[in-house]
């Protein structure tokens, strides 16, 4: 595959997976996505711990704790946004630097910016041209000397670090969306800690449904940082609340076809009949393949981050037993809120956790794709 096309394809798929529809990683190493078995669940959210040492470390009652979390988030807890100290200054100038393709949701931040009353511009780069195109748009944004830049990097943060530092030196505030928190940023929205929290809730859905020790397969592409973070969150939660349950890796590839990825899952499950749950983001959804091969009755699917009416329908028809739901459109309001707080010099959580909910067959509805009344919650916090 030509490198330029590879950048575009990988970034598009990764962004579609992440709750904010933005990628948290860059590029693929060309992995074929072959399945691998990790043995046991990993200790630690960064996935660096020896996976063979985590099983059996849970204390008694972990499954009950998982069930309690599921019950808590199935109740659809309200989004809470603290009051901004001052009314937003309408002379504030903000620029969003992101990619131009639909997966990056061009225009999605305009309603939040309008609610703040700020002057706002978008500078969208052609992601197929690689990091140099991002650097060019970022340079133009910095040269415009806005008060704050909301930046979706889509490639390695180090590639842009010197530009970020230059902008900070000029007094510009920076909010990262979907990347990695590094020096210079006031906040990182929908980054690793937030993704891990959502996938941990998905693990709790599986554990609560199992009611005891079980084997769980997690589907992910280790070459995409956002997907690795989701897998890490599953492993860390199972290590704590799994009461001896284990997590097995099924590596997928965002550059492979859906049919190829599904075939790897089918092969894996045929070789590992002890697996009773498959945890996955929507991109690697294998429900149709499992049903066609007779495996649908052997395993249950738990999803992470539903985004569409189709995802909701999959819960209603029983293909998926539940989703850990996060933020879709609401993520842009969260980014705008972080920008407002950065401009006002407010101390805040630099890597906030998204608002989470559990969607299952008792409450499945498109209203759960985002926090309830999130626009009103932010407008109220902004003195609107």
**H helix intervals, 211-252:** 225-241
Residue 28 pLDDT more than 80? no
The reply to whether 214 falls in a domain is yes
The reply to whether 336 falls in a domain is no
The reply to whether 103 falls in a domain is no
- E-strand ranges in 285-356 read 300-304, 322-325
What CATH number should be reported for the domain holding residue 232? 3.40.50.2300
Residue 37 pLDDT more than 60? no
Check residues 31 and 124 and name the one with the higher pLDDT: 124
The reply to whether 330 falls in a domain is no
Dihedral angle of Cα 186, 191, 194, 198, to the nearest 10 degrees = 160
The reply to whether 93 falls in a domain is no
The reply to whether 135 falls in a domain is no
Q: CA-CA distance, 149 to 91, in Å (whole number)?
A: 15
Average pLDDT over residues 58-63: 70
Contact between 328 and 161 (Cβ < 8 Å) = no
The reply to whether 303 falls in a domain is yes
**For a pLDDT cut of 70, what percent of the chain falls above it?**
84
For position 263, what pLDDT does the model report? 96
Split into its structural domains, the chain has a count of 1
Locate 289 and state its tokens: 């393949």
Q: CA-CA distance, 369 to 360, in Å (whole number)?
A: 12
Residue 224 pLDDT more than 90? no
Residue 19 pLDDT more than 70? no
175-221 tens-digit pLDDT: 999 988 999 999 999 999 999 999 999 999 999 999 999 999 999 99
The reply to whether 56 falls in a domain is yes
Q: How far is CA 162 from the centre of its chain?
A: 26
Helix (H) or strand (E) run with residue 278 in it: strand 275-281
263-305 tens-digit pLDDT: 999 999 999 999 999 999 877 989 999 999 999 999 999 999 9
For position 221, what pLDDT does the model report? 93
For position 60, what pLDDT does the model report? 55
For position 281, what pLDDT does the model report? 86
For position 81, what pLDDT does the model report? 97
Q: Residue 283: which of 264, 256, 309 has the closest Cα?
A: 256
Check residues 50 and 256 and name the one with the higher pLDDT: 256
Q: Is 132 left (phi over 0), alpha (psi -120 to 50) or beta?
A: alpha
CB under 8 Å to 199, separation ≥6 — which residues? 229, 230, 231, 232, 233, 234, 237, 279, 304, 324
**pTM above the 0.75 mark?**
yes
- Furthest-apart CA pair in the chain: how many Å? 62
92-145 tens-digit pLDDT: 999 999 999 988 899 999 999 999 999 999 999 999 899 999 999 999 999 999
For position 36, what pLDDT does the model report? 34
Q: Residue 191: which of 43, 20, 13 has the closest Cα?
A: 20
341-383 tens-digit pLDDT: 999 999 999 999 999 999 999 999 999 999 999 999 999 999 9
**Neighbouring C-beta atoms of residue 140, cutoff 10 Å:** 14
304-335 tens-digit pLDDT: 999 999 999 999 999 999 999 999 999 999 99
Average pLDDT over residues 45-54: 30
For Cα atoms 191, 197, 203, give the angle at the middle one, nearest 5 degrees: 135
Residue 11 pLDDT more than 60? no
Determine the length of the chain: 384
**Neighbouring C-beta atoms of residue 188, cutoff 10 Å:** 26
Domain coverage including residue 301: 25-77+193-325
């Amino acid at each position: 595959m030509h490198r330029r096309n590879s950048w575009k394809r990988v970034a598009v798929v990764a962004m579609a997976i992440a709750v904010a529809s933005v990628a948290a990683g860059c590029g693929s190493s060309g992995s074929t996505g072959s399945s691998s078995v990790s043995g046991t669940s990993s200790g630690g959210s960064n996935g660096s711990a020896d996976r063979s040492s985590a099983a059996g470390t849970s204390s008694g009652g972990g499954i009950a704790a998982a069930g309690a979390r599921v019950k808590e988030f199935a109740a659809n807890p309200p989004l809470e946004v603290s009051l901004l100290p001052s009314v937003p200054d309408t002379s504030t100038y903000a620029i969003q630097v992101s990619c131009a393709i639909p997966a990056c949701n061009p225009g999605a931040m305009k309603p939040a910016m309008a609610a703040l009353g700020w002057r706002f511009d978008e500078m969208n780069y052609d992601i197929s041209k690689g990091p140099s195109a991002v650097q060019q748009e970022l340079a133009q944004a910095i040269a415009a000397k806005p008060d704050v830049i909301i930046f979706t990097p889509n490639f390695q943060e180090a590639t842009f670090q010197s530009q970020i530092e230059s902008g900070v030196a000029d007094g510009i505030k920076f909010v990262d969306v979907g990347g990695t928190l590094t020096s210079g940023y006031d906040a990182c929205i929908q980054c690793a800690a937030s993704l891990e929290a959502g996938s941990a809730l998905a693990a709790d859905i599986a554990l609560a449904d199992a009611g005891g020790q079980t084997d769980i397969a997690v589907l992910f592409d280790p070459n995409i940082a956002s997907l690795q973070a989701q897998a890490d969150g599953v492993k860390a939660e199972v290590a704590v609340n799994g009461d001896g349950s284990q997590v097995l890796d099924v590596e997928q590839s965002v550059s492979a076809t859906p049919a190829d990825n599904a075939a790897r899952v089918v092969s894996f499950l045929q070789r590992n009949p002890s697996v009773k749950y498959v945890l996955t983001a929507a991109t690697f959804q294998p429900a149709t393949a499992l049903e066609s091969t007779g495996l649908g009755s052997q395993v249950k699917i738990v999803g992470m981050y539903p985004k569409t009416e189709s995802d909701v329908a999959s819960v209603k028809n029983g293909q998926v037993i539940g989703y850990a739901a996060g933020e879709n459109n609401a993520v842009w309001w969260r980014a705008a809120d972080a920008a407002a707080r950065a401009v006002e010099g407010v101390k805040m959580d630099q890597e906030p956790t998204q608002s989470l909910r559990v969607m299952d067959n008792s409450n499945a509805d498109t209203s759960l794709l985002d926090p309830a009344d999130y626009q009103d919650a932010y407008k109220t916090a902004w003195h609107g």
